[in-house]
């Protein structure tokens, strides 16, 4: 590599780091997997560095990087099965452990992502709130229903606020075709259920504190007071999901009774309050068990999504591997 080419490569490396969070957010919305999004960005990094000496400057470096990332995402998402939430794959089940027999392959379910990995949390509050909306589990799952070109057009135009002409350049398409893809994507997503996503109020902050206290004490009466009547519990990678406060409490007190004595550490994932759950370890301390992503509706908890693949998610989201 010549000195000039090496200098260009170094510039590409620096600019990729500058765009890492935005690229990760784009790849996450395209793929529905936090781990795959990070892999896609790393692959983009490698491809950009290797081809830096061929970058001719006909488009902005940002557009060039996103074109590489888009192509990487297309290559990674050729499976005919789309990622989804358990609630999208079948009806709710009774709180019976026999329904745990159906385990979803890792590439079938939406996996979580840390807010700070894809959002600049120091930005304008309105922009941060809008960005959080675009990584909600329901929205990311709805995105996976779209053909790849429509998904890319929607994410780039409506989430990242790219002009249609820049998206057309990235996709090697006309502005008219981008606008058409965008219109079809909007029509498809219009049928998706709405998700209430306001900023947390002081009362909701108190609600979360009460949830932590109730869960760590494993107090069923206190938990019952915090859940909506139609609250949902999902536990990826299991296909089973529960609906209804009574069924959730029956599960907690029955098959889930081993969660008594757990500890919760707060965090943020998919634009929602999240907690790393550690269960008591017979050898001492507490070991990772689940990443809980909570959805709130007004003054109660509407859903608890417990991601049990802690070996993948805890490290990626910055939670410790063990609590002494």
Instruction: Name the residue among 21, 143, 35, 139 with its Cα closest to residue 82.
Output: 143
Going by the DSSP 8-state scheme, the letter that residue 57 receives in this structure is S
**Residue 69 scores a pLDDT above 70:** yes
Please write the tens of the pLDDT for every residue from 235-273.
999 999 999 999 999 999 999 999 999 999 999 999 999
What's residue 252's pLDDT? 97
**Residue 8 scores a pLDDT above 60:** no
Query: Is residue 110 within 8 Å of 34, Cβ to Cβ?
Result: no
Please write the tens of the pLDDT for every residue from 205-244.
999 999 999 999 999 999 999 999 999 999 999 999 999 9
> Rounded mean pLDDT of 22-48?
95
What's residue 308's pLDDT? 94
Q: Higher model confidence: residue 31 or residue 1?
A: 31
Tokens of 16: 């990729």
> Rounded mean pLDDT of 40-55?
85
What's residue 12's pLDDT? 56
**Residue 312 scores a pLDDT above 90:** no
What's residue 57's pLDDT? 57
CATH class held by domain 3-77+111-189: mainly alpha
Instruction: Name the residue among 204, 292, 202, 210 with its Cα closest to residue 256.
Output: 292
CATH class held by domain 202-316: alpha beta
DSSP conformation letters of 220-239: HHHHHTTEEEEEEEE-TTBS
What's residue 17's pLDDT? 83
Q: What is the mean pLDDT of the chain?
A: 90
Please write the tens of the pLDDT for every residue from 261-307.
999 999 999 999 999 999 999 999 999 999 999 999 999 999 999 99
Q: Percentage of residues in the chain with pLDDT exceeding 90? A: 76
Instruction: Name the residue among 235, 228, 288, 233 with its Cα closest to residue 264.
Output: 288
Query: Is residue 44 within 8 Å of 65, Cβ to Cβ?
Result: yes
**Residue 70 scores a pLDDT above 60:** yes
What's residue 11's pLDDT? 59
DSSP conformation letters of 161-221: ---HHHHHHHHT--HHHHHHHHHHHHHHHTTSPP---PPPPHHHHHHHHHHHHHHHHT-HH
In whole angstroms, what is the distance from residue 34 CA to residue 304 CA?
19
Please write the tens of the pLDDT for every residue from 76-109.
987 667 899 999 999 999 999 999 999 999 889 9
- Burial (CB count within 10 angstroms: exposed 0-12, middle 13-18, buried 19+), residue 119: buried
Q: Which residue has the tokens 């745990």?
A: 100
Phi and psi angles of residue 271, each rounded to the nearest 5 degrees, phi first: 70, 10
What's residue 3's pLDDT? 46
What's residue 199's pLDDT? 78
In whole angstroms, what is the distance from residue 89 CA to residue 109 CA?
10
Q: Higher model confidence: residue 69 or residue 190?
A: 69
Phi and psi angles of residue 99, each rounded to the nearest 5 degrees, phi first: -80, 0
Q: Higher model confidence: residue 311 or residue 72?
A: 72
**Residue 4 scores a pLDDT above 50:** no
Enumerate the β-bridge partners of residue 263: 278
> Rounded mean pLDDT of 15-44?
93
Tokens of 288: 């990772």
Please write the tens of the pLDDT for every residue from 154-211.
999 999 999 999 999 999 999 999 999 999 999 998 877 666 556 789 999 999 999 9
> Per-domain residue ranges for the chain?
3-77+111-189, 202-316
């Amino acid at each position: 590599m010549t000195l000039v080419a090496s200098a260009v490569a170094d510039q590409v490396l620096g600019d990729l780091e500058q765009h890492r969070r935005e690229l990760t957010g784009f790849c996450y919305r395209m793929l529905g997997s936090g781990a795959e999004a990070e892999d896609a960005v790393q692959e983009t990094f490698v491809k950009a560095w290797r081809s830096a000496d061929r970058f001719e400057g006909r488009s902005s470096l940002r557009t060039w990087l996103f074109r590489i990332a888009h192509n990487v995402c297309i290559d990674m998402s050729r499976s005919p099965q789309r990622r989804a939430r358990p609630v999208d794959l079948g009806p709710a089940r009774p709180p019976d452990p026999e329904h745990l027999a159906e385990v979803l392959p890792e590439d079938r379910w939406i996996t979580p992502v840390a807010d700070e990995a894809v959002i600049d949390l120091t930005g304008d509050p309105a922009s941060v709130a809008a960005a959080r909306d675009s990584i909600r589990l329901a929205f990311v799952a709805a995105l996976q229903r779209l053909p790849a070109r429509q998904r890319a057009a929607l994410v780039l135009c409506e989430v990242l606020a790219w002009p249609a002409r820049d998206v057309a350049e990235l996709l090697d398409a006309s502005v008219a075709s981008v606008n058409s893809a965008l219109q079809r994507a909007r029509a498809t997503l219009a049928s998706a259920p709405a998700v209430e996503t306001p900023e947390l109020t002081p009362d909701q902050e108190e609600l979360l504190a009460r949830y932590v206290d109730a869960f760590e004490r494993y107090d069923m009466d206190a938990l019952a007071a915090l859940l909506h009547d139609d609250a949902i519990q999902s536990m990826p990678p299991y296909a089973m999901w529960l609906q209804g406060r009574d069924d959730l409490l029956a599960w907690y007190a029955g098959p889930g009774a081993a969660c008594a004595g757990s500890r919760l550490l707060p965090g943020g994932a998919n634009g929602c309050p999240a907690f790393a759950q550690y269960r008591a370890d017979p050898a001492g301390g507490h070991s990772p068990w689940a990443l809980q992503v909570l959805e709130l509706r007004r003054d109660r908890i509407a859903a608890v999504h417990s991601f049990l693949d802690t070996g993948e998610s805890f490290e990626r989201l910055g939670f410790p591997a063990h609590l002494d």
